[in-house]
Structure formats: structure tokens, C-alpha cells
Amino acid sequence: MTVQATRDSMLRCHCHHAEAGDVLDLLGVDPVVGLDRFEIEHRREQFGPNVLSEKKERSAWVLFLLQFHQPLVYILLGAGLVTALLNEVVETGVILGVVLVNAIVGFLQEAKAVRAIQALARGLSSETTALRAGKRTRLPSAELVPGDVVLLQAGDRVPADLRLLQARELRVNESALTGEALPALKDPAPVAPDTPLGDRHNMAYSSTLVSSGTGTGVVVGTGDATEIGRISQMIASADVLQTPLTRKIRAFSHRLLLAILVLAGLTLAAGLWHGHSLGEVFLASVALAVGAIPEGLPAAVTIIMAIGVSRLARRRAIIRRLPAVETLGSTTVICSDKTGTLTQNQMTVQRLAAGGQRFEVSGVGYGSDGAITLGGAPAAPEPGSPLAEILRCGILCNDAELIEVDGRPAVQGDPTEGALLVAAVKGGLDLNELRRAAPRLDEIPFDSARQYMATLHDTGAARPRVAYLKGSLESLLPRCRAALGPAGEEDLEPDAVQAGARALAGEGLRVLALARKELGPKQRELPLRDVADGLVLLGLQGMLDPPRPEAAAAVAACQGAGVRVKMITGDHLATAVSIAGRIGIDGAESALDGRELAALSDDELIARAGDTAVFARVSPEHKLRLVEALQVRGDVVAMTGDGVNDAPALRRADIGVAMGLGGTEVAREAADLILTDDNFATIEAAVEEGRGVFDNLQKFIAWTLPTNGAEALVVLLAILLNLGLPILPVQILWINMMTAVCLGMMLAFEPKERGIMDRPPNPPGAPLLNATLLGRIVLVSVLLCAGVFAVYEWELARGMGEAAARTSAVAALVFGETFYLFNSRSLTRSFLSVGPFTNPWIWLGVGLMTAMQLLFTYLPPLNAVFGSAPLDAAAWLLVAGVSLALSLVVGGEKWLRSLRRSQ
């Protein structure tokens, strides 16, 4: 095998299970010297720069032109062609204007994978320290090549995938990559080949952050060959699914286009059969097509969704793609990341066990709001008491600091140590005062082998020096000779202590033991032998990354609305199950970890995905598989997350939801919806708004189609019965455009109906219009058609001219639609029950439509353009009677259906 092939295979292999020496040999590098100049140049030619490849995207012009590749747009372009053939320049301009506006809006709202990849690439644009030719060299991360020896220290961003060679208390924050809230403690020792990403303690991955300690590693992956590079490729290759709305609109448009062509063909055949000239018959077919095309539908879809976007923005959610707002209303499953989404990503002490008592600690996060209580009553840490001493130990044996970032409480240092400081503040202790009163003299840093940290403090002249320790119970308990009780030191009961620790762990808490030992008053150093035994156990502190306070209510609301919530996290299984139980996720006890998931075939995963509520220790590929498995089951999947590891699944889901404050830029760029307050509860509001958007779309379509249906029926019946056209093609255009703008658009402002979150989601496979609405559309179309013919023939019978009769027919259709508009404010209830004045825009639209119709009737220039004529009072009374009758019939139909539902 050639050197190049060997190195390529090295980069493709899992270096975590190889000995560090073997990795160095395979990469051909001396860890003391590093690579030299010529070898670096050869490897840069071979492997390329340490940057992510950018996928070639469609040009802006191609993306813009693709906005016209939609069935509804084809229908509108057909309408424009028809009106152009009729030499109706104004109408043609209006229709083409509608098409152009929709294309521009779609183009501006298009979400591009390249933006997510560019965000990932920016994550690599930093500097790093490497050994080259035996010298420490500061260089741009992009210049690293496989085999470079990199030096890490606190605050560094890991510049490439590294196999660690040395680690001294090295902790790396990998939460954005793995979902693990706590920084991972690193150790160069090999691990098993099937070790999950989050447990590979001998690896440091590109774009993660060094929290503390120092380390040395050899580069084994750069650019696209890194873990974050694989995620970049998954983002680029993940399909962006059509939303339920776009699928339904497309299917509806295809059926509508087919129906228009069939009816137009039938009209043409009937006219020729009756002996009309080809020109006359063609114009009649054109009139039918113009009447049947809902010119206002694409604009209405865009406007209704845009209003939903505006409403969501007021509720702290930003939509990046318009159709996504409706998708929320159809969502059947929310796959939520845990860390930073359902939880606060801030370790918090919840329980204290000291002096034989168990204390509760309220409040969450790094803020000082909260208190320590015992049996519900405030517990004051009296000087020298077990409670005071365990808090004091947490302050002094601690390297973290409480700070503020952008006005919000934060921790500088290890989150676990930060949690100890916050607990002490809640107990009323002054951190600075205690540190001044007991300055640190020496320390034993935390070591993964020892599993504890110890510090030595001067507590005052002629007083014993005190060593404080914190660490795992397994490491400290064997070193303890006694425990601190209310009356002082008392006999240690190891079994009772371990039982208490198990109880805390059973609640999903991470348990930390704290102890002390008094030493000589002049001792200034702390050797390991002085803390090997003779300790006094102060107690236990149990902590976790707490759920957001509003998460439980939001989860309950979603589940009450028929939306299943699943937790998908990189954290440990026990922690994930505990958090899921705390926030009330249904079936939280049903869980899978990453290894179990990886062992499942695709079919097995599809079967298990529906019933499993918690997925832990999962990788980015696992998240992607889970989303795809749920979609195969027919679910509409919303994926929430804030980390780099969430981005591919966010892009593949029907709707991706990212966190705006705590989330990574990669996640925000891949998402459709961004929560500006990082609040899971905002998703509940978004689901509610999404359902409102879908309701208003249904209302508009159920209202507008009877107009088109009636106009098509009027033309078809006139040809079949060999009658004159009651309405001219140009008048049909007037009706369609004016009613859509003045009346139909007002339904976009319709407020959400009560009980919208008490019903299940819209079934993913359900058509845009159900059988009830289709029946109503047919009923209203027939009634409007009958009304138009009745008014037209009545006016001719009483001696009115054909222009006046057609004007009356137009008025009957317009005001029939106006009366029907009030019925359409609710698809199931009377418009009186939704409140006559809850949508003032409706009345504005009715007033505007009435004014326009009066101008159509009485203004001479419009009479000349549209072939209309003034009407007398008798004609208006007839129009009003026909319109009122239609409204009463529809109201009666809804009343009968409500009676049937209640039985």
C-alpha cells in the first residue's frame, strides 16, 4: 500500500480505538518535532486546506425562474394568456403582476443550504498553535494538515479532528456536537471501536471549545474529513421536503387545471354542436376558463401565510420560509433536542444531603433566584452546621466564577463548579468574603484517575488549616473516618450514605460528594498522602441541567393538541429519561440509546420510532434516520435543536426549529423557524398560529371556489342550453379580481377560533378540502349559478336591456359572495357565534366592495369598459333577496351538520 493510500485509510478509520503511538507511526510524525516544511507542502497538496467545501448552488436567476414552476402559476399564466387574447390589457397586467409578486416573495424566502455551510466554514476560521520543525508556531487553522501536532489550552477552539497524545485536566465543551451539557474530560487512552462519539475521551473534534486544562493532539482529520465536515455534507445532501401545504396546493392545482380543461373542452364541443361559429365558441370557452381560474388564490396563500408570520414574530418566533408557518399546524411529532431546548444548559444544584437531612434547592440556572428549604421551610445555614460547611466547601474548593454576559448570569469555568457557587449564593453566603477569609494555599487539581479535587486554606491565625475536597462518592467515601452531623462529627454509616446517593441518582441527578480535613496550623502544602484518609464527609450535592420552567406546560399543551413529543439527545440515557419524566413526555420510560438504535434495521427503526419517546446518546446520523423513519410512518415532523449536530435533521424535517439566543449559527441557518427567546413554549404558540393559518386558507378556498364554479357553470349551461351569456368574460375578470381583493383577502385577518388546540392535527394525507367543504362548494356554486340565471332572465322578462340584465347578474354574483363571506368566517359554526365584529377588516372589505360595485354600475367610463348599465331599485331588491336566500340556505346546512355531529 502506498504512503498516500495508507494515510487516506488512516483518515477514514476510527482513530479512537488505536494506540496513540500507532496513530503517530501511521501519520509519520514525531510528536516532539512535528512536521517540517516540505512534508507540510506535500500534505497540503494531497489533502487540501482545512476548510469545508462549498456546494455549488443554483444561480440567483435559476432560483428566481424556478418560482414560476408551480401548477397555480401555470394556471395564472394561462389566465394572462387568455386575457391577452381578449385584448384586455389591464386585466393581463394585473394577473402578470400577481405572478411576479409571488415569484419575488418566494425567491426572497428561499432557504439555502449554502448559508449553513458558510456558517460552518466560519467556525473554522481561527488560529491555532502547532509544533512545526520543533518550534511552537501560531498559524491560521486553515493551514493545518493531517499529522500536525496541535497544542490546546483553555479558551481554544479545536481547529481540526485530533487524536489526543497528552491531556492535563483537559475538558472540552462538546455540547454543540454531542448534546452533552457538561464539558467532556479527556484522556489519551484508547477506547472500544464502537464507542459513541460523545464517549470518545481520547478525541477532540473540530469547532468544539476547550473549557479548561491543556493537551496535545495530532491532526487526523481536516476540512470535509472532520466530524463537522460530515455534518456539512449531510446538510448539503439532505432533501428539503415540500410542506404539507405545498403538497396539498400542488395536488389541488393539478385537479383544478384538469377540471378547467375538461369543462372548456366540453363547452367548445357543445357550442360547435349547436352550430355556433368557431370564434364564438372559442370566446365562450375562454370565458369559462377565465371564470374557473381563481386568480387571487396564490396571492391569498402568500398573504395569509405572511400575516401568520407577522403574528408569530410578535410571539417571538421568526419564520424563514413562508409555507413553514402552516406546516406547524399539521405537525404530528415534535422531535426535541434536550440540552438548551427543553433544558437550560445550566447545571443547577437541586438537592443537598447533609447532617442526616435532605434539603431542597429551588430556582434554576445560574441566577441567584431561589432558596434552600427543609420540609418546605426556609433553611438558614448556621455557622458550623453541616449545611453551612457543605456550601462553604463548594465555594472554596472551586475555580469557577459567576459573571454576566449580555446582562444574563453565566459561569466562567466548569458548569459543575458554577452550580456549587450558585447553591451557596442561594443559601445567603458571600463568595468574596469567604474567599478572603480563607485564602487558598495549595491545591490538588482534579484528576480522572483520582476522581477528586482538593484545596488547602488558611482559616486564621493559630487555627487549623483546612483541606476541602469534592469528587465522586466512590473516591471520597473510603477516605472518610466520620461524617459531620448537627452536633459535630459522628460515626460514618457508609451504607446509608450510598443509599442516599442512589436515591439522588434515581432522580437523574449527578451526585458530588464533599469532605474536609483539618491539618496543622502552619501547613502550607497539600501532598496526596494528607488526604488519603481521615476525612470528614460533609454531605452530597445532587445537580442536573434543569428543564426550562415553561417546558412542562408547553409539552402538555402540545400533547393535548394531539402532537407527540419525543426527546432526541446526545446525553446519557438515565439523564434523558429523568428529564423526559420531569417535563411530562408521554411514554418517557420507553427509551433507546445510540448503540441500540444503530443495531436496528431501517424497518425495525420505523416500527420502534412511533412508540419510543426518548432517544439518547445519538449521533447526527441517528437523528437524521429517526426523522426519516417517522416521515415514512406518515408523520409531519418538527425537529427542534440548537447545536451543530442538529443541523442535518433540522434541514430534513418537515419543519426545523432552532434556538435564536443559545443556538449555533449553523442550526439557525438550517432551520425554518427560529425561536428568538429560546423558549420551547413558543413552539406551542407557533403550532396554534399554524393551525390558524391553515383554517384561514381553507376558509378562503371554500369561499372563493363557488365564485369560479358558478361562473363556469353559467357559461357551460348557457352554451349547452343555447342561451346568451348572462355574464361577459371581462365582467368575470372584474368579479374575480375585485371580490378576491376586497372580500376574500379579509379572511386572512380572521382571528383563531376557540378550541383550535383541542383538536388533533390535520392528517398529513388529508386533501386540502374535505368532503363537507366540497359539498358546500358545490351547493353554493349551484345556488349562485341559479341566482345569476334567475336575475338575468327576470330582468329581461320585465323589459330591461341586456346590459342592465347582465349588470344585475353580476351584482347577484358579487353580493351572493358577500353574504356567503360571513358564513365562511367559520366553517362549522354560525358567523354570529364567532362575533360579528371580531374581524373589523370584513366590514371594511364589504364597504369597499359595495362602493366598487356601485361605480361599476353607475360610472359611465366603467359602463363603457365592462358593458354595464345603471340599475333601478327593483333590480337591487331582487339582488338582495337572492343573496339573503343563499346565506340562509348555507346557514341551515351548517346547522344541520352540527346537529348530526352532536348526536
**Quick one: pLDDT band at residue 281, thresholds 50, 70, 90?**
low
For every residue of 463-523, DSSP letters joined together read S-EEEEEEE-HHHHGGGEEEEEETTEEEE--HHHHHHHHHHHHHTTPEEEEEEEEEE-TT-
Share of the chain above pLDDT 90, in %: 34
Q: Report pLDDT for 184.
A: 85
The residue type of 693 is: V
- Asked if 275 and 720 count as a contact pair (C-beta separation under 8 A), the reply is no
DSSP label of 750: P
CA distances from 299 to 13, 94, 184, 198, 743 (A): 53, 12, 52, 48, 13
Query: pLDDT at residue 126 above 80?
Result: no
739-762: average pLDDT: 85
CA-CA-CA-CA dihedral for 248, 253, 254, 259, to nearest 10: 130
CA distances from 262 to 33, 257, 258, 269, 722 (A): 80, 9, 6, 11, 19
732-760: average pLDDT: 84
Kindly tell me the sign of the dihedral angle through the C-alpha atoms of 469, 474, 479, 483.
positive
122-142: average pLDDT: 78
Kindly tell me the sign of the dihedral angle through the C-alpha atoms of 319, 323, 328, 329.
positive
Query: pLDDT: is 777 or 156 the higher one?
Result: 777
What tens digit of pLDDT does each residue of 403-428 get?
Answer: 888 788 988 888 889 999 999 999 99
Q: Please report how the helices 278-292 and 729-742 are oriented relative to each other, as an axis angle in degrees rounded to 10.
A: 10
Query: pLDDT: is 656 or 769 the higher one?
Result: 656
CA distances from 782 to 288, 707, 777, 828 (A): 15, 10, 9, 20
Burial of 106 (0-12, 13-18, 19+ CB in 10 A): buried
Question: CA-CA distance, 201 to 480, in Å (whole number)?
Answer: 30
Q: What's the grid cell of residue 11?
A: 483518515
- Asked if 326 and 244 count as a contact pair (C-beta separation under 8 A), the reply is yes
Q: Report pLDDT for 871.
A: 94
What b/e string do you get for 157-172 counting C-beta neighbours within 10 Å, with b at 16 or more?
bbbbbbbbbebebbbb
Least confident segment among 6-20, 143-157, 462-476, 792-806: 6-20
Least confident segment among 485-489, 733-737, 794-798: 733-737
Read off φ and ψ for residue 208, nearest 5 degrees: -80, 170
Q: Where are the alpha helices (DSSP H) in 723-839?
A: 729-742, 771-797, 802-823
The rounded radius of gyration (Å) of the Cα atoms in the chain is 36
- Asked if 481 and 535 count as a contact pair (C-beta separation under 8 A), the reply is yes
Q: Report pLDDT for 818.
A: 94
What is the pTM (predicted TM-score) of this model?
Answer: 0.65
Query: pLDDT: is 263 or 6 the higher one?
Result: 263
172-197: average pLDDT: 80
**Quick one: pLDDT band at residue 361, thresholds 50, 70, 90?**
very high
Q: Report pLDDT for 8.
A: 45
- The segment with the largest mean pLDDT, out of 141-145, 591-595, 852-856, is 852-856
DSSP label of 450: T
**Quick one: pLDDT band at residue 623, thresholds 50, 70, 90?**
confident
Query: pLDDT at residue 854 above 60?
Result: yes
Using the structure block, give the residue that is written with the C-alpha cell 487524536: 163
Contacting residues for 703 by C-beta, under 8 A, at least 6 apart: 743, 744, 747, 817, 820, 821, 824
To the nearest whole number, what is the mean pLDDT of the chain? Answer: 83
DSSP label of 407: T
| Helix/strand/coil for 760 | coil
**Quick one: pLDDT band at residue 3, thresholds 50, 70, 90?**
very low
777-792: average pLDDT: 92
450-473: average pLDDT: 91
731-736: average pLDDT: 80
Query: pLDDT at residue 240 above 80?
Result: no
Q: What's the grid cell of residue 833?
A: 357565534
The residue type of 586 is: D
CA proximity to 794, closest of 730, 871, 863, 853: 871
Which residues partner with 221 through β-bridges?
161
Query: pLDDT: is 33 or 297 the higher one?
Result: 33
Query: pLDDT at residue 267 above 50?
Result: yes
CA distances from 661 to 125, 138, 664, 674, 675 (A): 22, 32, 8, 9, 8
304-315: average pLDDT: 78
Question: CA-CA distance, 93 to 84, in Å (whole number)?
Answer: 9
Q: Report pLDDT for 791.
A: 93
The residue type of 599 is: A
Query: pLDDT at residue 260 above 90?
Result: no
What tens digit of pLDDT does each residue of 80-101 get?
Answer: 776 677 665 766 766 676 677 6
Q: Report pLDDT for 799.
A: 86
11-28: average pLDDT: 81
**Distance in angstroms between the alpha carbons of the first and the last residue of the chain:** 79
Q: Number of helices and strands (H, E) in the chain? A: 32, 28
Q: Report pLDDT for 690.
A: 84
Query: pLDDT at residue 113 above 50?
Result: no
What tens digit of pLDDT does each residue of 155-170 get?
Answer: 678 889 999 999 988 8
Q: Assign 3-class secondary structure to 39-99.
A: HHHHHHHHHCCCCCCCCCCCCHHHHHHHCCCCHHHHHHHHHHHHHHHCCCHHHHHHHHHHH
Q: Among all residues, which ones are annotated catalytic? A: 337
Q: Report pLDDT for 116.
A: 37
Task: Tell how strand 564-568 and strand 614-616 pair up.
Answer: parallel
From edge to edge, which strands make up the β-sheet containing 317-319? 317-319, 673-675, 655-659, 637-641, 333-336, 564-568, 614-616, 591-593
The residue type of 743 is: L
Query: pLDDT at residue 318 above 90?
Result: no
Question: CA-CA distance, 292 to 732, in Å (whole number)?
Answer: 9
What tens digit of pLDDT does each residue of 860-894 get?
Answer: 999 988 889 999 999 999 999 999 999 899 888 88
**Quick one: pLDDT band at residue 111, thresholds 50, 70, 90?**
very low
Query: pLDDT: is 440 or 273 the higher one?
Result: 440
Query: pLDDT: is 90 or 555 the higher one?
Result: 555
